[in-house]
Amino acid sequence: MFEALTDRLQGIVRNLTGQARITPENIRESLREVRRALLEADVQVGVARDFVARVEARAVGEEVLKSLSAGQQVVSIVKDELEHLLGRTPVTLAGSPQVPTVVLLAGLQGSGKTTFAGKLAVWLKARDRSSTGARRVLLASADVYRPAAVDQLERVAEQAGAGFWRAPQGTPPVEIAREALEQARTRGFDFLVFDTAGRLQIDEPMMAELVALKQAVRAHQVLLVVDGMTGQEAVRIGETFARQVGVDGLVLSKMDGDARGGAALSLRQVTGKPILFLGVGEKLDGLETFDPARLAGRILGMGDIVGLVEKARAAVNEQEAAQLAEKLRRSDFTLEDFLEQLLQVKKMGPIEDLMKMLPGVPKAALEQARPDHGRLKRHEAILLSMTRKERRSPRVIDGSRRRRIAAGSGTAVSDVNQLLRDFEQARTMMKRLKQGPRGLAGLRRGRG
């Protein structure tokens, strides 16, 4: 997501910060490149023009030009204006004091509403916890037009671990809405996520039905789900829904399939409505909260340490992490710990994506550091093929055990040997780090 725009803007940033002297001329030249990059990313023309004008008004000033770090200041202004364009302050899904909180999903057919309903249920259960535990979410649908639409939502609800309610066949959409709300109340659900029918294009009957459904379920939040891959069309859709139905927030789906990202950079400015979520991937945990400051940093290659920490917190048990630290301190790190770490890193997502969240890592370095996924899969299979005794005491793994482990994991004995060598190298490095400056000096001399 935003890959093409990120590449272009990072090049412009490097050029600006590498200038020996910043002048109004080279600032304007750089901003022309910024404007070109935004338009290529499918940002609306008016939005791109206003963005560049605001940056130029702030950057071509005496205080900036006379500064010893003028290039860095201009980059800081670009980041600040990018945050302004994206909405400045992150907006989260607002709960209601009246239970249940009703979230109505709107959007065209194929925009990803049904999948988002499941993702939102997973997100609410994981992040919106009360003293009694995870929030209870009920999913219901008024899509009586698309074949098997209700069946699809039922499968999504089951995968998300959410409740589901189906109206009797032939029930009109508005009556479905009223009955779904009554079901959520009587069954004690905290949230009702209500899916609606879409069309291939905007038409008056769809808009009229959405307005009637919004009133019938007394929606606290109306979220418009827009396909992020539709570019400028997404902006037109957002404008129309905001004007005719009234929406409280925006969701951009399928963002991992679009390297441009122009919709995200245009929608907030054009509709005046905040973007709440970005949908990435087809799995139900593929939902990111939209944070303008963090996203601006990622687009400009400044990393996203907060996002990295959040991923780590979601994947790593704090008590287990403390126990691992103690094992490292005692040099008691085993293959069992090695397996646990491998599985935890897998839960955080692709390693390449994690590395992109580190600040100041050039793209060339990311390419060179690209992990060998085949090797990691072989390592996992080999470790799972071992007995607990073998993982806890690697020294017992002799030749016959290596042959059995290789056969059990579908790998070769050479792969088992490679894993054990990698493990010993990791243990050696940890011992060096434990020795402090003396150990680090050994690592620099290549002894580790």
Cis before 359? omega within 30 = no
Mean pLDDT of the region 146-157? 92
Q: Using the predicted structure, report yes or no on whether residue 259 has a pLDDT greater than 70.
A: no
Q: Strand, helix or coil at 130?
A: strand
Judged against a pLDDT cut of 60, whether residue 318 lies above it is answered with no
Give yes or no for residue 315 having a pLDDT over 60.
no
Q: Is the pLDDT of residue 326 over 60?
A: no
Give me the CATH code for the 3-86 domain, please. 1.20.120.140
In whole numbers, what is the pLDDT of the chain averaged over residues? 80
Mean pLDDT of 18-24: 77
Helix ranges (DSSP H) in 300-412: 305-315, 318-329, 335-347, 351-356, 363-368, 373-385, 388-392, 399-409
Residue 276 has pLDDT above 70, yes or no: yes
Give pLDDT tens digits for 60-70. Answer: 876 666 665 77
pLDDT confidence band for 131 (50 / 70 / 90): very low
Q: Is the pLDDT of residue 224 over 80?
A: yes
Other Cβ atoms closer than 10 A to 378 = 19
**Whole-Å CA distances, 286 to 46, 59, 262, 348, 403:** 31, 38, 20, 11, 39
| pLDDT at res. 421 | 87
Three-point CA angle 93, 99, 103, nearest 5°: 40
Tell which wins on pLDDT, 438 or 181.
181
Is residue 288's pLDDT more than 80? Answer: yes
Quote the pLDDT of residue 103. Answer: 95
Q: What is the predicted pLDDT for the residue at 353? A: 60
Which run of H or E residues covers position 215?
Answer: helix 204-216
Q: Is 229 left (phi over 0), alpha (psi -120 to 50) or beta?
A: alpha
- Secondary structure of residue 199 in the 3-state scheme: coil
> Domain 101-300's class?
alpha beta
Instruction: Give me the DSSP letters along 223-266.
Output: EEEEEGGGTHHHHHHHHHHHHHT--SEEEEE-GGG-SS-HHHHH
- Fold classified for 309-444: 434 Repressor (Amino-terminal Domain) (1.10.260)
Read off the pLDDT of residues 402-434 as tens digits, 9 standing for 90 and up. Answer: 999 999 999 999 999 988 888 888 777 766 655
SS3 (DSSP) at 133: strand
Instruction: Mean pLDDT check: name the lowest of 90-104, 219-233, 292-306.
Output: 292-306
Is the pLDDT reported for residue 196 higher than 70?
yes
pLDDT of the residue at 327: 54
For the chain, the domains span 3-86, 101-300, 309-444
